[in-house]
Every structure is written in C-alpha cells, then in structure tokens.
Structure 1
Amino acid sequence: LLNGSVYPKIIFGRTEVIDNTLNPNFVRKFFLDFFFEEKQNLRFDDIATMQLCANKLDKKDFFGKSDPFLVFYRSNEDGTFTICHKTEVVKNTLNPVWQPFTIAVRALCNGDYDRTVKVDVYDWDRDGSHDFIGEFTTSYRDFSRGQNQFNVYEVLNPKKKGKKKKYTNSGTVSTFLISAFYLFYVLPNRTQLNFTVAIDFTASNGNPSQPTSLHYMNPYQMNAYAMALKAVGEIIQDYDSDKLFPAYGFGAKLPPDGKISHAFPLSGDNENPNCVGIEGVLEAYFQSLRTVQLYGPTNFSPVINQVARSAQDVTDGSQYFVLLMITDGVISDMVQTKEAVVNAAALPMSIIIVGVGPAKFDAMEELDGDEVRVSSRGRFAERDIVQFVPFRDYMDQSGNQVLSMARLAKDVLAEIPEQLLGFMKTRGIEPRPALSSSELPELHRLI
C-alpha cells in the first residue's frame, strides 16, 4: 500500500500472507491520516500467483534426464529484456511441476497486460553453465486466462529448429494454476457532496482577447480562473459520485438580446446547467467567454440563492452542497448577499470564494465569519459557511502552477469538514452506521 502524490512515495505496509487460497480475506488494518483538502493518491499493487508445469522437455543430462528451471523476462521499451523472476530447480525430470510463486504485475510487465513476457527454460548444471532447452513468449493477459488449452506453450530452441527439419519443439509448458487479484477500495459515500461553480463575467476582468485580461485564454498556461477552478474541483470531485457539476456565470450580457444575467448556465442550457467533470466545466467556461459580453454588476446573491434552493430540499444529512465562486472585484449587492448567506447557513451548504487579480477584497472578509458571524436584519448566521481567500497569496514565486493550485486547494477546502459536521450537529443528525462487510465493495479478482 503506497501513498502517491507530488511528494515521494511512502510504503505504509503490506498485508499478511494467506496460504493456499484464491479468495483471500485480509484482516490486517492500516491507519492513515486523511486530509479532505489534499489529493492523496493510494496505489494498491496488482499481485499474481502462478504455478507452471512442463511436459516432455529435452533430455540434457548424460546420466539422467534434466534439472529444469524457468527464467522470466520483462520486455523493455527499447526491445531488450530484463529478468524479473527465476523459479526453483526441479531435479531429474522431463515433466517438472514448479512451486507456485507470487510476483507483482508491475514487475512482470510494467502494468501493461499485453506487453511481451519471455520465458527461458534451462537445465541446471552445478558449475553454472546451464544448458538452454528453449523459450516461449506470452503476455500477462494470456497468463491470466488460467488453465486452458490456450495456455500450453511450445518450448522452442532456435538452433535446433534451424538444424533439424523434423524438429517440432523441445517440450511444452502449461499454466497449471494462476490467480491474480487487485484491491480497489472506494471510501463509502455516506454523505454525497454536490459541487457547484460560479464564475465572474463582469467587465472589470478585461477583454478576454487581451493578455492583460484575467479571462485571457493563453494557449500555453491556464488563467487564474481556470487554475482556481481546477485546483478546488479536482479534489472535491472525488466526493461527488455522478461527476455532474452545475456551473454558472454572473454579470454578463447574454445573446441574442443582451439581457444581463447573474446566474446563467455555462452549458447554455437553462434546463440542464450540469457539466460533465471538471474538464467539462472548463470547456463550458471557455466557450461562454466566446459568446457572452462581459458587463456587470457583481451580484452574488442570485447564485447563492440558486444553490440554496437545491439544498433546502435535502436536509437529512444525505447530501451537502459546496458552492465555489471565483471573482475579481467588490460585491455590488452586499446587503442581499449577506441575507442569502444567513439563510444558507441553516442549510447543508458551504461557500468558497476565491478572489483573483490585484483588487482589494476587504469587503469580502465581512462574509468570512471566522471572527464575527455574518448578520442580516438582526439575524446572525447559524454557522460560519463562507471561506474567502485571495488567490495571489498562494501563487508560487517561481511560476509553478501545480504548486500554486495545491496550496490554494489545501487552504480553501480545509474548513469544509468542520462546516459539514457543524450542520449535522445543529440538526442532531447522527453518523450513519459503518458499512457491513457484505456492503463493502468486493475485491476485484482475475482468475
């Protein structure tokens, strides 16, 4: 079990070995620190267990038969081969049965099931000058079919084949048994996260066709809006099972009549604002830049209320809504926005606001109620549900966009778990029981 990220891989541990079974039930537990706001890649290595036997191999020993063993080679990109496994020697037989052995699929074929695997058959000699009996080639995909008529391989000796017209083979090797399994476990989604995006299309961002614009579509690197969207979205999408994300724009004039909208779907479909995956959101964002006219003002409340209407229909703890708003300037409808935030605080909902560009965002701090709860008309928000950050504070000085995005995501998402728990506690919603073993995803198994 390995942890993979932009940092070096760390081996956390290995499972116990369970002998003589094709259906192992591992019980060793691994305890890992989980960080909602970070991308933590876990890799579970594919493991194959093989057993092979041979029939009618060539006799190589003068006073006996042969002492055969197998050598497995992985093919490399340059056409060469690298040894990856050697079996034990079975003494004095032309029909050996080798002991089962276990090998990581990655070591056998670099994870490419169709990559050539070469197997040499030798007769062992005490002095190390082992006699070559023959060879055959296959692939892990063929191996994984298990024992059948297609997994009987002719052992061929090229020198003998070239010299003897009646030469057929130097014996055969069969896959007597093979089992392979890989562990693939997905954390059970006991609470479904629904992720929504809202992007500022006001004229203060500048003409998207000009390099000075915050919306400029540089063919070589992402603009700040795309970076913020991708940074947050790529982490939170793993908690949204259907990967369908409503995406809105605000502050633009829409074709054909130039009507100003503060909650228009980037998909262009008023009946279906969903985009498929974060890449789908990015595509819709870039397409909208080509079709709408940046205008104004910067009104937040329509989009917040739009998401709140969805959240108010599901308050049993089964779903939680996260709205990401990316903007370049000061909110124009602060009074209405504060009212919307106070109302949303009573719902299963959080709001992330990312400020891009050089503007002063002092007024935004009023919504981020870390010290003083947002209030409207004498009512205070039940919970602090807004997290505001200016993207410029997370930009890497060397221009490393990946690092900048990782820093941003880690900070803006850090409060989501506590905000979610805060809602559950205020509503008296108890954690759901853990999944029973029968409900857990099965081990995916190749046999």
Structure 2
Amino acid sequence: THPTRHAGHKAKATRTTTTTSQHPNNMKVKLSLSARRLPNVAGLGKGTSDPFCVVTKLAEGASQPVVLGKTEVIKNTLSPDWTKVFVFDYELGHPVHIAISVYDEVRKGSNKAMGSAKFELGGILGAKGSVKAKKMKGGGTIFAHVEKYSGSGTLRLALQGIKLKNTEGMFNKSDPFYDVKRKVTGPSGDVWDVIYRSQHISNDLNPQWADSTIDLAALCGGKLEQHIQISVYDHEKSGKHVLMGEIETSVRELVAAKNSGPFTLRRKGKDKGKLAVNRADLIGMEDLSTQVAGMSLSGGASAPPLPMPVPVPVPVPAAAASGAGAYVPGSAPAYVPGIPASAPSAAAGSPTFVDYISGGCELNLCAAIDFTGSNGDPRKPGTLHYIHPDGSLNDYEKAIQAIGRILAKYDHDQKFPVLGFGAKYGGIVRHCFQAGATPEVDGVDGIVQAYRSVFRTGLIMSGPTVFTEVMQTAAAHAVSSQEEAKRNGKQAYTVLLILTDGAVSDVHATAECLKQISDSPMSVVIVGVGAADFSAMQFLDDCASHGTPDIAQFVEFNRHRHDRLALTAATLDEIPDQLVGYFSRKGVSPARAVHLDEEEVVVEPEEEEIDLSLAFGNDGEINVASGGHYNSSMNF
C-alpha cells in the first residue's frame, strides 16, 4: 500500500487535482505520493528541507506537457507523506506518463530541486499492491500509489478542542493540530493512514480549527460506517509532534455528533480533554446528510538454429479439425464451455476493472502469430516477416511491442506463452505450435525473440489461415490459470493477441469456436497486419449471439501504423468491460485491495535525468519552461 503515514509532518488541507478526458468508458483513479530519505538541500545551519512535489503530465506526439498541480509543503522532514491526491481518468489503452519533481520550499529565493522520477499510471496500478517506488537522482526514493477514486462526495468538518491536556510544561501551552486517518489493513495488521491534517493553532488549549474539506472516497471509500481515527497532536518545529489524545469514530457518527455532546479524547487510557464537532456536513450527499443528522449519540468516538517448434496439445473443434492426428493430448485440460449467461445490468457501485486489478487480478498475455505463406518470403525486404538487419521493427514486431508493453504491466511474473500457426513442418501443416525454445518466454522482448527464432527452424510457410486451434489452446490455458489462481485466493484473466495478415479461411468455424470459448476468462484481440482486404474480419466484432458474451475485437494495424496510442486504444478498450463481465457472470467479486508494507515494495533503480524544467511564478502558478516530452522507444 501507500507507505504508512506518520504523525510528524505538517500538511495543509487535502485538495484533489483532476485530469479528465471525454472517453465514455474511463474509470477514475487517484494518485498519492510519499518519499523516503530525501537529500537535505536546506544548506548548512538552515535545518531540514521542507519538501513538496509537482506532478506534470508528460506530452506525447503533438500534445503539450501540463502541470497538474503540487502537493502541500511538509516542514522539516526528509521522509514526507503528502496528503494531496491527484485524480486521473484511466483507460487501459491510453498510457499516461507523469513526472514527479520534488523541491525544497525556499521562501526567499528559488525553490531547490531535490529529485525527480517518471511513472506511467497503468504501470503503478498493475504493480503489486498498486504501488511503485523509484530511486531519484541525487538521492531518496519516491513512492507512488494508485487506487480507485469513487467520487463519493466530501465531508465539511469543523472541530474544536475543549480543555486539552497541556504537553508543554508549566510555562508554555501546546500548539494543537489534528489528523484524520483511515484504517488500512496490511500484511502486518491494521495501520492508520493520514488523509487530512489541519493547521496548528499556537498556545491554545481550546483551539477552534478552521473548516476542513475532506474527500470521502479517500477517507472511507464512501462507506460512512467505516472506522476512522482523529488524533490531536502538539506541533513541534522538529517535526516530532507529541500525541495529545485521539478518538476512533466514523463519518456517520461525526455527522450525528452535531446534535450530541463532544467526544472524549484519550491517550493511554486516560481522558485528555474533549473534541467537539461544530460542523459535519456531507457535500454531494445531501439526502444522506439529512438522514443521519437527526441521529444522536450516546457517547463519542538471437543464436544457433533452434529445434523444430513443439506442437501444442489442443482440443480441436470438429468443424475446424485440420491435421489433428499430429497432436498428442497433454496434461493441460481441454476447455469445456460453461453455460453462457447474460451480463448483469450495470448498477451504481458495481465493481470496475480497477477494483479487480487493485485486488491482485493478473492479466496474462498469450501471443499467436501468423506464419502462412501469404506473408511472403521473410528473406526478402518488403515482406511482412522481413527481419531488418538494422534492428528496426517490422509491423508484426511493432504490434507486439505496442500492445504487449501495456498488458505486461499487469502481469507480475512476466512469463508469456507464444504460439504460431500456418507453417508446415515434416509435411504437416501446424495450426498451433510453440514459438521459441520454451513454453513461456520472459517479457515482451522475449515474445519478439521467440517470433524471430521461428525463422531458424526450417519452417515452410503454408496455409490456410486457421485461428480455432490457437483460440482453443489459449482458452484452456486461461481456464487453467484462473483455477490455479483461485486455489491461491487470487484471480487471473488472459488476453489472446492474434497477429495475422489475412482473413480466416473458415468464417463460420471461427465464429462457432468463439461461441464455444466465450465463457472462458479470456479476451481475444486480433490485429490485421499488411494491406489485405480485412472486411471479412469484421464479423468477429459482431458474431456473439444473443446471450453469448462478446470477447473478440478486430483492429487493422495500417489504420494506426503512425499512431501507437491510437493502436493500443483501439485494441484494448473493450478488455476492461470483458474482464468485469466474466467475473460478474461467475459471481466473483474483486478481492480486497492488496496492501504492502513499505519494505515489501520493490524499489526500481534511478533512470536517466528527466528533460523537464519548471517555472515558479510569484503568484504560485507553476508552468513548464522547457522539455516535458515523453520519449517513447517505439518508433512507428
């Protein structure tokens, strides 16, 4: 999870920055940030740095970089936990690259840079616990955590301390402030995560703090009965604040407390004063606010030639059988379709793709590549399978890289099966064989290497174009993966990426096969490569019969060959709904969000310095002065 936030860092009121798009199927996520062991750049004799960070959305293509906002400044600490969150519209096929720049606030002079790091939003979400950490140049580590943003409204809260117990001795009075915390369950048990921190009030044991506005999604996920904690501290310039007392309560009880007596603050079992609720209103939830307001409380609280590709055992439908005698059934179970069920109607509070991914559901990628003769002689330049000696990518490789790199972010072990179809070995046409030397390869680069290795095996490119065997194989693999995940209390979903240069030879057999496997935990993405007429392939988007889930999507590569983002958007946009639809039909809810202790988060090494310069205006405005463009390694 987001590293546990501790008392000891001053923070302003929580604010939320939102970046939106107009896509109708987007999901909202929120980004929260923290840092550890930052370098102290305050200067000799000037104490400890006062860090804040700026979030910038990096530009791709013709777009411009945008500063999304900054966090609050936290005084005198090198390990800040910022409370401000940034809200984004999230879509699977639309990567969002951001730069996190950390500064030490300097009142008289220029803010001093402390470090920076780059993240991709989907990469954070797909990481274990939906948290990533990176080393920054100059020292320190930045932690980024992404979770679902439900937009549940806000809590307008005004609190007052009454006769607080002084912690400053006889001649001084405490400088109280309060934290509002949510309970987070991690591997080591429950911890309290700071969501909001008030300003401190100097020398006052009866402080009346200013109104605060707290996001309910961040505080309690919109669940008004969820336990929260309010802790009052004596502010210390050193950052080592002293606990004065605390209560455990809920939003519902806070709203009702306007009509009842104050809460009793306690520390180590002893009364430490009172905490009165002068205001607790639910904004954006007016009806519910009225409902709970009437309640009262009774109390408070590359290499030499490889061997011939290995045929893959596959259950082949009778309508698509071709050379079936070449296959020997293996230990992998055949896919047995279940009874199709219609998707449940959408309802408020229904689970989303983000819920499943946050709960640890993994997306398993399986690639299937067309080696039929219509692709042309791979030794001749200009043919679709030609391997360029200068290392540049052909269209098959571009599609593998673009789509694979996005899906790979959601697969923790980075192991991917690679299949081939349409090649002849030993006089037999194989419509499903293992590409590469191993059943699974490492990473997306491993998929490309497995693809290239097939041309060193003595294949004869043949035909016809048959998808059914690779689809059946992938479906069996998907079912097996989900069953294994289920035994371990987890979830798994497979995406089959088929790359082909032409239409299938038997449309009806393919449609029937899709119908048979439509109840498997799998989506089928078919990318047409080359200049063939793919009009006959459009049936794939419409072949789902009434009551049968639509799991297939066809995209023509040439329509997006100069725009990688458009390609990934077109191919992956339907997958979130298909994943949610499968688990909903099976009655499988998202698992509880995975929370990690800080030491469990894998810290990635520092990257090259970010080409980004920010300009800070006297009015507090921050703009991009130069740079800010994301340099993709993919050159379409």
Partner of 2:374: 204
Aligned 8 A contact 1:184 1:443 in 2: no
Query: 82, 87, 90: which is aligned to 1:34?
Result: 90
Partner of 1:171: none
Structure 1 pair 218–318 and aligned structure 2 pair: CA distance change class (3 A): same
Q: CA deviation at 1:192?
A: 0.4
* Aligned-partner Cα distance in 2 for 1:436–1:48: 30
Q: CA deviation at 1:237?
A: 1.2
Partner of 2:142: 182
* Aligned-partner Cα distance in 1 for 2:427–2:547: 36
Q: CA deviation at 1:20?
A: 2.6
What's the Cα RMSD here? Answer: 3.2
Aligned 8 A contact 1:45 1:182 in 2: no
* Aligned-partner Cα distance in 2 for 1:385–1:251: 23
Aligned 8 A contact 1:48 1:105 in 2: no
Structure 1 pair 440–263 and aligned structure 2 pair: CA distance change class (3 A): farther
Partner of 1:242: 413
Aligned 8 A contact 1:367 1:386 in 2: yes
Query: 492, 495, 514: which is aligned to 1:341?
Result: 514
User: Does 1:420 find its partner at 2:579?
Assistant: yes
* Aligned-partner Cα distance in 1 for 2:554–2:362: 23
Aligned 8 A contact 2:370 2:421 in 1: yes
Query: 468, 490, 498: which is aligned to 1:301?
Result: 468
TM (normalized to structure 1)?
0.62
Alpha-carbon displacement from aligned partner over 1:314-337 (angstroms, at most 9, x marks no partner):
165711110010111121243432
The code of the aligned residue for 1:307 comes to A
User: 1:202-281, aligned counterparts within 5 Å?
Assistant: 202-220=372-390, 221-254=392-425, 257-269=426-438, 272=439, 274-281=440-447
Aligned 8 A contact 2:93 2:565 in 1: no
Alpha-carbon displacement from aligned partner over 1:387-441 (angstroms, at most 9, x marks no partner):
0122122234xxxxxx2x3221111111111111211222222233344585897
Q: What secondary structure is seen at the aligned counterpart in 2 of 1:42? A: strand
Structure 1 pair 443–298 and aligned structure 2 pair: CA distance change class (3 A): closer
Structure 1 pair 186–444 and aligned structure 2 pair: CA distance change class (3 A): farther
Q: CA deviation at 1:302?
A: 0.8
The code of the aligned residue for 1:363 comes to A
* Aligned-partner Cα distance in 1 for 2:522–2:477: 10
The code of the aligned residue for 1:3 comes to K
* Aligned-partner Cα distance in 2 for 1:323–1:34: 22
Q: What secondary structure is seen at the aligned counterpart in 1 of 2:88? A: coil
User: 1:56-135, aligned counterparts within 5 Å?
Assistant: 103-105=113-115
Aligned 8 A contact 1:181 1:443 in 2: no
- Larger RCO of the pair (alpha carbons < 8 Å, separation 6+): 2
More displaced stretch, 240-249 vs 285-294: 285-294
More displaced stretch, 284-293 vs 437-446: 437-446
Aligned 8 A contact 1:198 1:326 in 2: yes
TM (normalized to structure 2)?
0.45
Q: What secondary structure is seen at the aligned counterpart in 2 of 1:384? A: coil
The code of the aligned residue for 1:105 comes to G
* Aligned-partner Cα distance in 2 for 1:440–1:382: 45
* Aligned-partner Cα distance in 1 for 2:561–2:553: 18
* Aligned-partner Cα distance in 2 for 1:416–1:185: 23
The code of the aligned residue for 1:312 comes to V
Aligned 8 A contact 1:48 1:181 in 2: no
Structure with higher Rg: it is 1
* Aligned-partner Cα distance in 2 for 1:236–1:195: 7
Query: 285, 295, 312: which is aligned to 2:451?
Result: 285
Alpha-carbon displacement from aligned partner over 1:64-92 (angstroms, at most 9, x marks no partner):
xxxxxxxxxxxxxxxxxxxxx9999xxxx
Structure 1 pair 350–445 and aligned structure 2 pair: CA distance change class (3 A): closer
Structure 1 pair 297–443 and aligned structure 2 pair: CA distance change class (3 A): closer
Aligned 8 A contact 2:101 2:113 in 1: no
User: Does 1:408 find its partner at 2:567?
Assistant: yes
Q: What secondary structure is seen at the aligned counterpart in 1 of 2:541? A: coil
* Aligned-partner Cα distance in 2 for 1:34–1:182: 21
User: Does 1:320 find its partner at 2:501?
Assistant: no
Partner of 1:400: none
Unmatched runs of 5 consecutive residues or more in structure 2: 1-54, 118-135, 148-357, 606-636
Aligned 8 A contact 2:359 2:590 in 1: no
Q: CA deviation at 1:242?
A: 1.5
**Percentage of matched positions with identical amino acids:** 34
Q: What secondary structure is seen at the aligned counterpart in 2 of 1:312? A: helix
